[in-house]
A and B are shown apart, each in its own frame.
Chain A
Amino acid sequence: MSETDTSAPLLEAKNVVVEFPMKGFRKAPFRVLHGVSLDIHPGETVGLVGESGSGKTTIGRAILGLVEPAAGTITFDGQDITRLHRKERRKLSDSIQVVFQDPYTSLNPTMTVGDILSEPLLVKADLKGSARTRIRELLDQVGLPSGAVDKFPREFSGGQRQRVAIARALALSPRLVVCDEPVSALDLSTQARVLDLFIEIQERTGVAYLFVSHDLSVVRHISHRVAVMYKGNIVEYGDGDQVTSEPVHPYTQKLLMSAPVANPVRQRERRIERHTMLAASSKEGHN
């Protein structure tokens, strides 16, 4: 185990290809990922930004073992986890966890918060006895009162539900959490608080995040490094500041220019800049 070796990546994806079968006899499968490579170090946040259909969610699901890659390898802590059997995969549950986008459908509406949080603990025999204490600890960590245990998800607001989902992901002290658009369903102010919670937990526990989002400013806020996805490929991958402030790839530039700034004066400038950029690129296209 290379737990103390920070130079080696915790997770490494190499040339991952994912295809979905198409409906119809002998139709060629639809290729969602065209050989994506990615590495995440312990304690690091790698932001994955892209628009709908770019394949950003699929790479997260491949890492979680929810879809099987057609080619390429994914290694976690030196172990090849590309195509694991259910049994071996289940052993990984205390290392890799997930927070989904929609806090309304990622929590079973018929279960209490206590039931939801005890679920991952049930799998580990040694944790069964101390489950109640652990649940209280988890609720405390995500800023929910311990009275939440007996309540149902529907009794909580979106932000509070997402906190429950985060607590569930943290239950087994994982080393990597795949966060799939965890704040995009939340209000602006809630979003800011939940992002701060993510950062605070990371600084305290050294967990690594793969942070998938369509919002460049969210990714910029939380990520050490940022990867930009476009049509199943990573088109740019580098330090967060560089990618989100001075992007090199034309698509990243377009993405950055398209996001409106909450300031009328600066937004006007950005708009003009964007129009100039688009005009220039369409001219190039014609030549």
Chain B
Amino acid sequence: MTEATTALTNAPLPVAPGRVSITRAVLRNPLGLSALIILTLIILISVVAPFFAPHSPTEVKIDKILAMPSSDYPLGGDGAGRDVFSRLIWAGQNTLLGALIAVSISLVLGSVAGLVAGYFGKVFDTTFSWAANILMALPAMIVLLALYQTLGGSVYSTMAVFGVMLSPGFFRLVRNQVIAVKNELYVDAARVSGLSDARIISRHILRVVRSPIIIQTAIIGGIAIIIQSGLEFLGLGDPATPTWGGMLQDAFSNIYINPAGILWPGLIIAATVASLVLLGNAIRDELGGPRASAARPRAKPRHGHAHARTQGTEALNPGSGNGPLLRVRDLHVGYGSIENPLTVVRGVSFDVTAGEIVGIVGESGSGKTQTAFSILGLLPRGGRVLSGSIKFRGRDITFAPGNEMQKIRGRDLSYIPQEPMSNLDPSFTIGHQLVEPMQAVFKISKAEARKRSLVLLARVGIADPERTFRSYPHEISGGMAQRVLIAGAVSCGPKLLIADEPTTALDVTVQAEVLDLLRDLQREMGMGIVLVTHNFGVVADLCDRVVVMQNGRVVETNDAETLFSAPSDPYTQALLAATLDDSPPRPPLAVTAAGTSKGKL
């Protein structure tokens, strides 16, 4: 086996960008960068207010009451003759400090409680979730107004209370994330590796919840500033301390005398809050990538493969009357931009004659599924046929528009998917999902469609068709679901059935039954089948002819018996050699040969 598999290409280590820190990611994002600059400016100027502001916030000049901007008062004077510009800067200190208190308290309280509740569950989860629900049920503004006097009229202590009231936002976020991560296999692996709970939390859990916490912090910060300004606008807080909300109130009471006065505090509040929200969005956008790419990457074709051969396809179909049922010629399928598409299928040609079962076999990334989808006209978003032709019953459907394909699909051309469960709508009964398309295609009554559906369900080997007809998808097994989809696919008597890995998700005993069913149906109805699979056993069981694909190209087309007994392409040979059917079973462990000591690796 080892010699044979060396013929298979050993993929080189990929070269890809390494770790992307949050800071660098945000700096790359123009929106994030400008938000960050504005925020830094506002914070910096507020911090150095004593050195930066031209006047004291309480300095009053009688002649400057509601004055227009001048060199002394760059933004004019307020209702008490104080410098609006200086007060804006001084007020930044107070407003930002209040927001900081609220955010810090909610962040620490919510995150810690969320971590504990999510990770340890049970009593912690019940108690903390209950407390969070109570807090969320309280109307924040009213509580704050009521507490304001009780707490001694300090904006800061009010903001501290507000922090507690905001903490369920962090709590729920962190708790849900932790619960999701806790069940990941890598956390199980860490447990088996002997890591303590504290280490698992710091190494695995915190890494994942870190970025959502940062995003939430930015947004909560914005909310805190708005609520605080709102409270001050209503007249709470010390009138002697400058705050953005207090300035807004002063400007509002003089709005008929100096309408422009309301502009400055309004602008600074808007700029700060908008920057915080935009920063949060930018972080989310930039960090959205790694989370997504943790999933299976889309297979990319490797370049530089020599054997692109489409042998014998012409010879195998010598003028069969009206020509083949399906004729694919030099098909290219690509994704991405028009100028520089990523080609996943490169020059695939094959034929399917009526009543023939053709297998398309290959490993992941070979382009077999993309080929099947382009025949159906159902390429995923961004994918399209670049060149070549697909002829179905003599008609060119390569670039047929959607509505025309829709007429062909579900009548002459049918499809069986890989994942039966995800292809049934969980909110409708099986019966509904069979009857509706039948009514649409055949223009028959509901009762007639129902009758036909029950016959079909019985035909595909479902023991109690009536009951299955009334069932919802979650009430039936995966094997049953695949039978239902097969029933739906053959309901219109298609000429060609495209089956994409139809048994891969099924248990081997169920797979055998489904393969039997497909074979019987094919014989009964005389339809052609294109069977996409990675399993050579399935190919051997069902197919008349086989197309072997690698990296988007056809490397061999052969009739099934010749392919298995005398494969011509080295890649096919290597693949067949990698099947374990004929490998000898491992002999029992000889007692003498057993590992008698714990060998050092």
Contact = CB atoms under 8 A, between A and B. Distances in A.
Interface of A: 3-4, 6-7, 41-45, 51-52, 64-66, 86, 89-94, 96-98, 100-102, 104-112, 119-120, 122-123, 137-138, 141, 144-145, 147-148, 150-160, 165, 168, 170-173, 175, 187-193, 195-196, 199, 201-202, 204-208, 214-218, 220-225, 239-241, 244-245, 254-255, 257-267, 271, 274
Contacts of A207: 595, 599
Given A152-B18, A168-B193, A267-B537, A41 B293 contact: no
Nearest to B183: A105
Given A109-B293, A221-B586, A254-B509, A261 B581 contact: yes
A201 B1 CA distance: 17
Given A119-B195, A189-B8, A45 B586 contact: yes
A104 B294 CA distance: 7
Contacts of A145: 13
Contact of B587 (A41, A51, A199, A241): A241
A193 B561 contact: no
A222 B586 contact: yes
Contacts of B583: 217, 220-221
Interface in B551-601: 560-561, 564-565, 574-576, 578-581, 583, 585-589, 591, 593-601
Interface stretch (B108-116, B153-161, B203-211, B245-253): B203-211
B18 A239 contact: no
Given A173-B598, A191-B578, A262 B193 contact: no
A168 B191 CA distance: 13
Contact of A7 (B508, B512, B535, B591): B591
28 contacts: A4-B596, A6-B591, A6-B596, A42-B595, A43-B596, A51-B509, A86-B197, A97-B193, A98-B192, A101-B185, A108-B186, A123-B193, A137-B601, A155-B13, A160-B11, A187-B364, A189-B574, A189-B578, A195-B580, A204-B601, A223-B585, A224-B586, A224-B588, A260-B515, A262-B576, A262-B579, A267-B537, A271-B516
A260 B540 contact: yes
B586 A240 contact: yes
B207 A260 contact: no
Contacts of A97: 192-193
A46 to B, nearest CB: 10
Contact of B596 (A94, A165, A206, A255): A206
Interface in B186-217: 186, 188-197, 199, 203-204, 207-208
Contact of A141 (B207, B512, B601): B601
A110 B207 contact: yes
The 7 closest A-B pairs by CB, nearest first: A206-B595, A93-B194, A43-B595, A260-B537, A109-B294, A262-B536, A258-B512
A274 B534 contact: no
B578 A188 contact: yes
Give the interface centre of B203, B508, B576 by most chain A CB atoms within 10 Å. Answer: B508
Interface string B518-554: 0000000000000000111111110000000000000
Contact of B601 (A123, A173, A190, A258): A173
Contacts of B2: 196
A240 B192 contact: no
A52 B541 contact: no
Nearest to B15: A155
Contacts of B594: 6, 41-44, 206
B557 to A, nearest CB: 16
Nearest to B579: A262
B443 interface: no
Contacts, number: 268
A153 B551 CA distance: 22
B591 A259 contact: no
A18 B165 CA distance: 43
B534 A187 contact: yes
A80 B565 CA distance: 53
Contacts of B512: 257-260, 274
Given A102-B185, A220-B585, A264-B564, A151 B18 contact: yes
A223 B197 CA distance: 35
A102 B184 CA distance: 10
B290 interface: yes
A244 to B, nearest CB: 6
B186 A106 contact: yes
Given A51-B509, A110-B290, A255-B509, A225 B192 contact: no
Contacts of B29: none
A106 B183 CA distance: 10
A193 B5 contact: yes
A96 to B, nearest CB: 7
B589 A214 contact: no
A93 B515 contact: no
B295 interface: yes
A103 B19 CA distance: 20
Interface string B1-42: 110010010010110101100000000000000000000000
Interface in B397-451: none
Give the interface centre of B196, B199, B296, B600 by most chain A CB atoms within 10 Å. Answer: B296
Contacts of A110: 207-208, 290
B363 interface: yes
